[in-house]
Amino acid sequence: MENLMVEMRSKFADHDDFFIEEELIHQTVIYLMGFKTLIDYPKSNQYIRQMASSAASVDELLTNLSDRLDVGSEQMVNAVLEGKLIFVIQKDQRNAIVDPVALNLTRSIDEPKNESPIQASMDAFVEDLNTNVGLIRKRLKTDRLLHCSFQVGELEKRNLSMLYINGRAPNDLVEKVNQQLKQIDTDIESIDDLNRHFGLRKWSPVSHFFPTEVPIQAIHSLKKNRIVLLLDNYPFALVFPHLLLDMFSIVNDRNFPYILSVMLRVLRVVGAVLTLILPALYVALVSVNPEIFKFDLALFVAKSREGIPVPALLETIIMVVLIDLILEAIVRLPKSIGPTISMVGGVILGQAMVEAKLVSTLLVIVITAIVISSSVVAGIQNSLYIRLLKYPILILASIFGILGIFTGLALTGIYLASLTSFHIPYTTFHMKREGDTK
């Protein structure tokens, strides 16, 4: 046991937050070890002494405190890293791994920050894995909700949970996901790391997972025969597989009459299409196919571009890239500065560029419509990749005009249809329980 104490001191010699405290209980010297950044030591020590007052001996105290007794050094090291308290009796060469009073390092359940539920529960997932699983179980009270736990990573061991409804999620899909998660032997620092283990193409903008921070959305996905993954220290649920309709249909729509929910979904589809084609349509009609306009409308467009020294393609690319930069800046900057940047970038800068004859007033209207339409789809990830897909269509429109737009849309549809998650197409409308799709 003395060698064990020396090994633990040596193992954590470079950790300034590691402690070894000597205490006297029942006339026996004991040692308590752990990380002071993870353990509330005064309260943990008080708890142990309260347990000791009702125990006849130190051996009985060990039995009352824990069922993990006399473990090896490797288990003790792992326990310390997990935030456990190590109880050591050097005289009798005994030890135990004790659940301490932990420091409160997690935030409480709060409102969603990235999603805005309407007429729905305002709870959001947090960083604690058990809390997130509890938020789902609290609402989905059925024994058919199955929960499988995994520990992934090499240097950073992270807990990962897989939830699905037995009889709803296809058995072959559950088996494939289960097998894939067991094979992860590298650290999972981001969702992109998890994507690569599920076979995502390196340069694909579409993820295998649809992230949501709202428990009711995760439960809705479970009822739709999907699998939900929860990762420790990540306040989002990852719905698998991610399907195209996820960006157009959300569970909050069901709080409205059917006709209104259909209208909302149609508006999201229109917004996605406008984001893809509006800048390309402007370039095609101004520089390649102006003959499509009526004479009066053609004169209006020509007058709006009068005095602009750059071609329509370069003018559009400058504005589109500038708007994307402004949107990214608003997201990254503190909330106290973000509104100011949006005003400077969206109003003052736009007006200055029009007055300086660098862009046309018609293009400013088009860009404003793009910003609004790209924001109506569900999920910031979906909004980002739609904004990315508009660039190839814009280039094709500058070369082939209207024909280039149709070609770009066709190629985009073909590309999205080619994406699969474990042989489930991204463009699937609905997953059947038996695993087939339609």
pLDDT at residue 176 is higher than 50: yes
Q: What is the mean pLDDT of residues 256-277?
A: 93
Q: What is the pLDDT of residues 71-84, one digit of tens each?
A: 888 889 889 988 89
Q: Are residues 371 and 408 in the same domain?
A: yes
Rounded to an integer, what distance in angstroms lies between the CA atom of residue 113 and that of residue 365?
29
Q: What is the pLDDT of residues 329-366, one digit of tens each?
A: 777 777 667 667 666 666 777 777 878 888 888 888 88
**Region for residue 423 given its phi and psi (left: phi exceeds 0; alpha: psi -120 to 50; beta: otherwise):** left
pLDDT at residue 133 is higher than 80: yes
Q: What is the mean pLDDT of residues 170-178?
A: 92
Q: Are residues 315 and 259 in the same domain?
A: yes
Residue 110 lies in a domain: no
**DSSP type of residue 88:** E
Q: Are residues 288 and 219 in the same domain?
A: no
Instruction: Identify which has the larger pLDDT, 126 or 355.
Output: 126
Residue 115 lies in a domain: no
Give all strands (DSSP E) within 192-351, no chain letters: 210-212, 227-231, 237-240
Q: What is the mean pLDDT of residues 263-283?
A: 93
Instruction: Please state, as a whole number, how many other Cβ atoms lie within 10 Å of the Cβ of residue 3.
Output: 8
Q: Are residues 263 and 232 in the same domain?
A: no
Domain end position, chosen among 98, 113, 139 = 98
Q: Number of folded domains in the chain?
A: 3
Average pLDDT of the chain? 86
Beta partners for residue 148, in sequence order: 162
Q: What is the mean pLDDT of residues 369-376?
A: 89
Residue 114 lies in a domain: no
DSSP-based three-state secondary structure for 34 = strand
Place of tokens 């694909």: 204
- pLDDT above 70 covers what percent of the chain? 95
Q: Are residues 232 and 268 in the same domain?
A: no
Q: What is the pLDDT of residues 278-328, one digit of tens each?
A: 999 999 988 888 877 777 777 777 777 778 888 889 989 988 888 888 888
Cα angle 276, 278, 283 (rounded to 5 degrees) comes to 115
Confidence band for 32, pLDDT divided at 50, 70 and 90: very high
In the chain, count of helices (H) and strands (E)?
16, 11
pLDDT at residue 149 is higher than 60: yes
pLDDT at residue 434 is higher than 60: no
Q: Are residues 221 and 358 in the same domain?
A: no
Q: Are residues 306 and 376 in the same domain?
A: yes
User: pTM of the predicted model, to two decimals?
Assistant: 0.80
pLDDT given at position 422? 87
Instruction: Identify which has the larger pLDDT, 32 or 157.
Output: 32
pLDDT given at position 200? 67
Find out whether 204 and 170 touch, Cβ atoms under 8 Å: no
Instruction: Identify which has the larger pLDDT, 431 or 74.
Output: 74
Q: Are residues 283 and 203 in the same domain?
A: no
Instruction: Please state, as a whole number, how many other Cβ atoms lie within 10 Å of the Cβ of residue 294.
Output: 8
Q: Are residues 319 and 387 in the same domain?
A: yes
pLDDT at residue 227 is higher than 90: yes
Residue 246 lies in a domain: no
Q: Are residues 384 and 355 in the same domain?
A: yes
Q: What is the mean pLDDT of residues 197-211?
A: 84
Beta partners for residue 229, in sequence order: 162, 238
Residue 122 lies in a domain: no
pLDDT given at position 390? 93
Find out whether 136 and 219 touch, Cβ atoms under 8 Å: yes
Q: Are residues 262 and 368 in the same domain?
A: yes
Give all strands (DSSP E) within 132-185, no chain letters: 145-152, 158-165
pLDDT at residue 2 is higher than 70: no
Instruction: Identify which has the larger pLDDT, 336 or 155.
Output: 155
Rounded to an integer, what distance in angstroms lies between the CA atom of residue 87 and that of residue 64?
12
Q: Are residues 287 and 361 in the same domain?
A: yes
CA distances, 397 to each of 282, 363, 393 (Å): 9, 15, 6
CB environment 303-322: b (16+ within 10 A), e (fewer): ebbeebeeebbebbbebbeb
Q: What is the mean pLDDT of residues 52-81?
A: 87
Instruction: Identify which has the larger pLDDT, 93 or 401.
Output: 401
pLDDT given at position 162? 94
377 token code pair:
């789809």
pLDDT given at position 435? 46
Which residues constitute the domain of residue 81?
Answer: 2-98
pLDDT given at position 102? 86
Residue 372 lies in a domain: yes
Residue 118 lies in a domain: no
pLDDT at residue 438 is higher than 60: no
Confidence band for 201, pLDDT divided at 50, 70 and 90: low
Residue 141 lies in a domain: yes
pLDDT given at position 437? 44
- Secondary-structure breakdown of the chain: helix, strand, coil percentages, each rounded to the nearest 5: 50, 15, 35
